[in-house]
Amino acid sequence: MEKGAKIYVAGHRGLVGSAILRKLQSEGYSNLVYRNSKELDLRNYGEVRQFFNEENIDYVFLAAAKVGGIVANNDYPADFIRDNLLIQTNIIEAAYQTKVEKILFLGSTCIYPKLAPQPLKEEYLLTGELEQTNEPYAIAKIAGIKMCQSYNRQYGTKYISVMPTNLYGPNDNFDLEKSHVLPAMIRKFHEAKERSLPQVEIWGTGTPKREFLHADDLADACLFLMKTYEDDEIINVGVGDDISIKELAELVQQVVGYEGELYFNTTKPDGTPRKLVDVAKINDLGWQAKITLEDGVRSAYQWFLDNHVLVTK
C-alpha cells in the first residue's frame, strides 16, 4: 500500500476508525478520505455510490458499524441487524463497482458460537448457536464476512475480514446504557468516586472471562494485515490472554482510585461465559499486541478525564 494511495476510513470518529486514522497519519499516509454521518449516510446506497464515484478510492478500512453492549443489543435488535447489513453491503458493493483495490472488513468475535471451545479458532465460525443477547449484530457481521468471501470467489477481489476481540481506548462510548463493559466500568467507578458512593454495581456474577485489546493495537494490526494478508479466511486479532469481570472491576477500581465496595448484581445477564481468541494465525505472520491491560486502562481513564465533559453530557 503506497503512501500516496487514496484510503477511505469508514467510521473514522468511532473507537476503531479513529485509531486506524491516527495510525495511518503517524505512518505518513496523507491521502485519506472520510465523512461523518451527517455528510454521508452509509445506509443509503445512492449516497455511498456517489461518494465512491467521486473519490476514486484505492483502499477501504470498513470500521463503520452500529455497536453497543448487552443492553443496547437487547433493546434495539432490529436497529443492529438492519443498520449493519446496510452499511457493509453498500460499502462493499460500491467499492467493487468502482474498482477499489482492497477492503479490510472489521467483524467481531461475537460471530463465534456461544459455547465454542476456547480459545476461539477461526474455523469455529458457523459451528454452533450464537449468544442470544447479540445474535442480530453477530448475524450481520457474519453476512459481511460471507459477502467479502463471495466477492473474492466470484469477482477475484481482495477483501479481507478481521475479527478483533473486546476493544477499548480513546473515543470509546461511555454511555452507561449503550457502552461495553470496560468503558462503562471506567465511568461508573469515576462517578462513584466523585460522589463518594459506598458501592459500585457490576452486572452478573463477575465470573465470565473477557479479553481486552487496545484500539491502538488493533489499528497497528489492521495496517499490518492490509499490507501483508490476502487470505480468503477470517483472521483473529487479540492479545491471547483474558481476565474475569471481577478482576477487571478490581483493576479499574485501582486505576480510578475508588475505595468503596463492589456489588455483583446476579439478576443481570452474564453473557457468553468466555471469549478468548486464538491468535496463533496473526502471531505466525509476525504481529503481536504490545499494550498491557493495566497501561491501556490507565490511558483510557486519562482520555476519559480529559474528555468526560463531552462524553457524559
Crossing angle for the helix pair 245-256 and 181-195, nearest 10 degrees?
40
Q: Is residue 143 part of a domain?
A: yes
**C-beta separation of 275 from 165 below 8 A:** yes
- 94 sits in the region (left: phi over 0; alpha: psi -120 to 50; else beta) called alpha
Q: Is 78 exposed, middle or buried (0-12, 13-18, 19+ CB in 10 A)?
A: exposed
Q: Is residue 264 part of a domain?
A: no
Q: Is residue 81 part of a domain?
A: yes
Cell numbers at residue 62, please?
470498513
pLDDT, residue 70, reads: 74
pLDDT in tens, 200-238: 999 899 999 999 999 999 999 999 999 999 999 999 999
Q: Is residue 91 part of a domain?
A: yes
Report the share of the chain in percent with pLDDT over 70: 98
**C-beta separation of 220 from 23 below 8 A:** yes
pLDDT, residue 177, reads: 73
What gap in Å lies between CA 56 and CA 130, rounded to an integer? 38
pLDDT mean across residues, the chain: 94
Q: Is 261 exposed, middle or buried (0-12, 13-18, 19+ CB in 10 A)?
A: exposed
Q: Is residue 98 part of a domain?
A: yes
Query: For the domain that residue 150 is a member of, what is the CATH number?
Result: 3.40.50.720
Numbered residues of the known binding site for NADP(+): 11-17, 106-109, 141, 164-167, 180
* Residues sharing a CB contact under 8 Å with residue 227, sequence separation 6 or more, in sequence order: 1
pLDDT level of residue 310 (50, 70, 90 thresholds): low
pLDDT in tens, 242-278: 999 999 999 999 999 999 999 999 998 887 788 899 9
Report the share of the chain in percent with pLDDT over 90: 86
Query: What letter represents residue 188's amino acid?
Result: K
pLDDT level of residue 308 (50, 70, 90 thresholds): confident
Instruction: Give Cα 117 to chain centroid, integer Å.
Output: 22
For residue 126, the enclosing domain spans: 7-172+211-241+276-291
The helix (H) or strand (E) run that includes residue 244 is strand 243-244
Q: Is residue 167 part of a domain?
A: yes
Report strand pairing: 166-168 vs 102-106. Answer: unpaired
pLDDT, residue 200, reads: 97
pLDDT at residue 69 tops 80: no
**C-beta separation of 45 from 96 below 8 A:** no
Q: Is 283 exposed, middle or buried (0-12, 13-18, 19+ CB in 10 A)?
A: middle
* Residues sharing a CB contact under 8 Å with residue 88, sequence separation 6 or more, in sequence order: 62, 65, 105, 140, 143, 144, 147
pLDDT in tens, 87-141: 999 999 999 999 999 999 999 999 999 889 999 999 999 999 998 888 999 999 9
Q: Is residue 307 part of a domain?
A: no
263 is a catalytic site residue: no
Numbered residues of the known binding site: 11-17, 106-109, 141, 164-167, 180, 188, 203, 210, 270
Q: Is residue 96 part of a domain?
A: yes
Mean pLDDT throughout 178-187? Answer: 87
DSSP sequence for 32-97: EE---TTT--TT-HHHHHHHHHHH--SEEEE-------HHHHHH-HHHHHHHHHHHHHHHHHHHHH
What gap in Å lies between CA 98 and CA 58, rounded to an integer? 9
Choice among 34, 137, 229, 258 that is catalytic: 137
SS3 173: coil
pLDDT, residue 68, reads: 77
| Number of domains, the chain | 1
pLDDT at residue 45 tops 80: yes
Q: Which long-range contacts (CB under 8 A, 24 or more apart) does 278-282 make?
A: 278/119, 278/120, 278/121, 278/122, 278/236, 278/240, 279/119, 279/236, 279/237, 279/238, 279/239, 279/240, 281/122, 281/235, 281/236, 282/221, 282/225, 282/235, 282/236, 282/237
pLDDT, residue 311, reads: 55
pLDDT level of residue 60 (50, 70, 90 thresholds): very high
pLDDT, residue 312, reads: 54
